[in-house]
Every structure is written in structure tokens, then in C-alpha cells.
Structure 1
């Protein structure tokens, strides 16, 4: 009987119960993978305070590793998107990699750089997926950091004008992030996207067969009409007892296992 495919996914963000959307997205992937124990053995790597393995199912787990250089190490680097690791390499991660067959990166930070080097050296399949507009995020937080740096200094308006308007340092960081992202995409055997603008950008330098789409769908058991409870909803959110219209849109990945297995075969 064939052994389950060992897949590793790398999320360079902190896992915690109240984490944001990117982490929650991969929690849903983990739930989906847990239904296929004979097909996939999934490890999702997150940042955490200490090395720790959290079992999700018999074939699914979260592996937490401390960052090498956290954005929370310096007050000026703290930002609303959550903690990440800006070190150029993650030494602790390297020893976990040989056990896996397929590697899936989701950003360009320390986990991704470590995995990219490993896959290049050992000729392992590498997938990437684009979840965030990293160049835009970089420009946004570069501006925020510059505002913090000049916020209490003498002549702060001059320094903001110099760095942001004259030298356009935030734009330079954004272009640098785009070049870095493109390098990771070129190093990948397959890139998964969920937005047309990401696909259009990738197709300017990648062949069409290297770009694929996320297969997303609604979990019809989780979002079933039998869970409707208008009375509870009104009481919970203090809504008036008059007709109201609510629109709820949710999504859940449903075909990642076939994508990972197909990448190994290719």
C-alpha cells in the first residue's frame, strides 16, 4: 500500500488561537487534509515562542519554531500584520526538512528562504502560493516605520519629506520586495494564485503551465441552513425584531491534496 505523501507548508507568522486570516486559512487546509490520512501526511510550520508540536489529527500537525530575528524584537518594527521573522535563514528549521517530500512556501521570509535553499540543493519539489500583496505591504509598513522614526525628532516634517517624498524610500523597498518575490516564484515548480492580477503578473515572466489557481469552495456542512437561528442572532448582536438582510461569504480550500500529489508526480 502506498505511503501517504509527506507535505510541509511554511507560514512565517505566529500561530495562536486569535491569529489572523492567513493563519486561519491554513487551519482550514489542515482540517481538510485530516480527512485523507491514507493520502497525505501534513506538517504546517508556524512561528511560536518555543519549539512545540501540536497534533491536529493523526496525519496533521502544527510545528512551532521560535523566530531567529522577530519583528517584535525592535519596537519600531512592530506592526499590525503580526510577528514575522526577518532573518535571512532559519537554522532550527533546517533539521526538519529531510523528512518531507513536497514543500509549499507562502511568503519570502526566513522559512521560505531556508526551504528554497534546501529544495535547490536536494532537488525537491517546491510550490509557492501568493496570499498577500507583499510589495504593497512592504511599501505601507515602510512608510509607517519612517513616520515612527521621525515622529519625535527635531525637524520631523523635513525628514518625512526627504525620505518619503524626495527619496521615496518606501517605493524603493516595495520594488525590492517585488524583485525578491519574483525570484521565489522563478525558483518554484508551481505557483498557486487566487487573484487575476497575481496571475497576470506571474505570466509576464513564467510559462502558463507553471501557474495554477487555488481550488476554493464552500464547506456545505459548516455553512448549512440548519444552523440558522434568527432569535439567537438578534439577542447576541442586539438587533431589532424587524426583517433584516445579512450576507455571509465564506470559503474553504478543498483540493490541495490532489495539487500536492500532482506536483510530486510532475
Structure 2
């Protein structure tokens, strides 16, 4: 029996972001593995307000541990970021890790640094060393740069720019050192493979796609009536949805201004926002009754919201994958995405199953929205093709677990070059 520990140093709750949801889905898939499947014992570690164990099957469990130094102690972007643990060492996790054979890093803070230091110590001491695997889920350096600008505020833009550049450089070096300690690094896109190949070696980089829960996310013509009844969203006009953190890392200011321009041109489009963050108040001021803010939603409610809307507009360039795009397509929405973003990987026929916007300007995004809203036949065709693409080409979580994750865990990989960083450099 191979014991795998997956380290997700983010708080788990009902409205957690895509990183947490990803590993919840993988754990559920692992719990469904038949008895004849490879012998795997899986534990996924999250952060939480208390230590707690949730058992999904005799071989799969989710454990939450209290953070040592939660990032909530910082004054930041008014709820724009996920809560992680900034401590350099997590004693409770350190006590639990030796029971596992494979330590899978998914972030770059307390859990990851604890694991890498323990592995280095075991190797240096000549004892049995764990196998280290990593997967990339979030572009933390890019997010940190945006949050640094939030912290500086509008009064100190120059200081914010300098702070942002420094934070991004330091966190990117830190990320690369942690990844270089791992025998294999899993990324969601071929572009991600190309980016990290010079950092850790091409032989150590492999794909870890994201799955879609097709039973949960699907078209539903009755959903709009429920959305209108529950939240007062107008049902008689095109609904543009945005789901995720309401901040600049996701491109929300660009989208809000684009929608404002479309409305000013006389088109009664309505923006629906699912999430929370620093840009919530500015959106309310800019769009007034033209926007409905739903707040963070659990997956089942979010699936209903997807199916109730017409367009999913997602200007974010910080995504490593963008599972929200796949969920929206499965729900039958026409997606608008920035050219060159990782999220465009979900499209098989750009222009037909989704729209790619070529410039990150309000004018370009407003024009793309208008092009769909003013042509109902085209909007219907794009929505239909998006649902077909999702159904026929986007893999399930069970398939990704079997084809991408299990091989990385079950079969040790001997890289041609590996440099384990010293503990003091974390």
C-alpha cells in the first residue's frame, strides 16, 4: 500500500477556491477507485480552524490542521486573497508526514517548506527519504505583485510598483527552489511545461490536467427562473457572469468598465458576480443596478448560477488552468477569454465554442460582448458548441486521476539532474 500525502496549505470550507476544490474532487475520485485498482492510501491536508479528519473511504481521508501563522494576520486586499500559513515550519504536519511514502506539494508556504526541509534532513542523515512530487495550481508570484499594489494603495503608486516587482521576484525564486527539490513537477498546460522545463529540467515536468464534474455542471433551462427568484436578477436581458475573486488579479476592473460601456450604449446587459474581494465596492459604484453581487457560493449553487446566465466573461491572465471556464462551458455558456491566456486551452474551436478577445482594453471587451448580445443566433450557437466541447473533450476527474496523477505517484522517476535546496534557503 503506497501512502500519499497531498499538502494544500489553504483553508478548506464550503466556498473555497479552485485549488481546494481541485483536491476535493481528486480525493472523491480516489475514494471511488475499485478494490482491484492500484493499492493507494491517500491523505489530503488542508488548513482549518481546528484539527479534523473527514473519512471518504477506508483508504482516503481529508485532514485539516490549524495554521501556525495564518495570513489573516496581515492587512491586505480586503478579502481578496486566500488564507494560507506563512510560518516557515509546521510542527504538527512534521509529526504526521513520516507515515507517508510520497509527499505531494501544491503550494509554497508552511506545508511545502516543512516537507522539503524534512526530506533534506532525511537524505542528509542517510535514512529512508520520502519521494517529493509537486503540482502547480496558482501563479503565486503574479498574485503577490497585484496584492502589493493593493497594499500600497493609490497614494503610493510608485512604491507599490517597486514592492510588487520585488515580491514577484522573491516568490518566483522561492517557488523554483521548492520545485527543484521534487522528482516530478506536474503542470496543467503544455505552455506550463515549456515554462518550467528550463527551471527543473524537461524530464521532470509532466501534465496534470483538470477535470470537470459533468453531473454537477450542465445546461438547465429552468435555472434562470430560480436565479431571478432567489436574487432578483432580471430575467429579461442578457446575463454576463463572472466567478472568482473580485479583484484585479482576475481582471475584474477591465470587465466592469467594459460592461459599463455596453450599458451606456443602450444595451440592457446585466453583470452577475459570484465571489468576494477588493473590487466589490467599485463595481457597485460603477454599475449600480446593472450588477448583482451574489457573494461566494458553494459548488452546487454555483452550478445553478452558471446554467442561468448567457455569457461567462473572464479576463484573468493569472490562471494556470481556469477550471471556472470549463465549468461555465459545461453549463452551456459562451465564454469570453483573453488571447494567449492559459484558459483558452479549454476551447477546441476558438470563435465557435468560445470567443477570444485580442486586446486587454475596455473597448475590445465591450465590442466582444456587444457582438454576442446583438446577434442572438450567434450567441445561441456559441453556447451550444461550448456545451458540446465540454461534454466531448473535457475529461472527468476520475479520468485525470487515473491517467495523470496515479502514474506520478505509483512510478518513481529518476531525473537526470536534481538539486535539493538547503533548508536555510527556503
TM-score by length of 2: 0.53
One of 256, 259, 262 as aligned partner of 2:408:
259
SS in 1 for 2:171: helix
Q: Which of 138, 141, 145 is the matching residue for 1:139?
A: 145
| Residues 37 and 13 of structure 1, relative CA distance in 2, 3 Å threshold | farther
Q: Is the 8 A contact 1:90 1:111 kept in 2?
A: yes
Partner of 1:118: 118
SS in 2 for 1:16: coil
Match status 1:27 vs 2:17: no
Shift in Å, 1:215 = 4.2
How far is the alpha carbon of 1:187 from its aligned partner?
Answer: 0.6
**Secondary structure in structure 2 of the residue aligned to 1:80:** coil
Q: Show the counterpart of 2:14.
A: 17
The residue that corresponds to 2:201 in the other structure is: 207
In the other structure, the counterpart of 2:286 is none
Picking from 171, 174, 186, the partner of 1:177 is 171
Equivalenced residues, count:
247
Q: 1:163 aligns with which of 150, 159, 165?
A: 159
Deviation at 1:229, TM superposition (A): 4.8
Which ranges in structure 1 are unaligned for 5 or more consecutive residues? Answer: 152-156
Matched residue of 1:44: which SS?
strand
Report the counterpart of residue 154 of structure 1 in structure 2.
none
User: SS in structure 1 opposite 2:49?
Assistant: coil
Specify the alignment match of 1:64 in structure 2.
64
Q: Is the 8 A contact 1:34 1:59 kept in 2?
A: yes
What is the alpha-carbon distance in structure 2 between the residues aligned to residue 46 and residue 219 of structure 1? 21
Q: Residue 131 and residue 76 in structure 1: after superposition, are their counterparts in 2 closer, same or farther (change >3 A)?
A: closer
For the 8 Å contact 1:33–1:257, the answer to whether it is kept is no
Aligned-residue Cα RMSD (Å) equals: 2.7
Q: 1 CA distance for matches of 2:135 and 2:202?
A: 15
CA contact (8 A) 1:190 1:211 kept: yes
- Cα distance change on mapping 1:121 and 1:144 into 2, 3 Å: same
Q: Residue 90 of structure 1 corresponds to which residue in structure 2?
A: 90
Q: Could you report, residue by residue, the CA deviation over 1:171-210 in whole angstroms, capped at 9, with x for unpaired residues?
A: 0110001100110111111000112332222111322211
Q: After the TM superposition, which of the residue ranges 202-211 and 250-259 deviates more from structure 2?
A: 250-259
**SS state at 2:195 partner:** helix
After superposing the two structures, state which structure 1 stretch, 53-62 or 23-32, moved more.
53-62
Residue 33 of structure 2 aligns with which residue? Answer: 36
Answer yes or no: is 1:236 the counterpart of 2:226.
yes
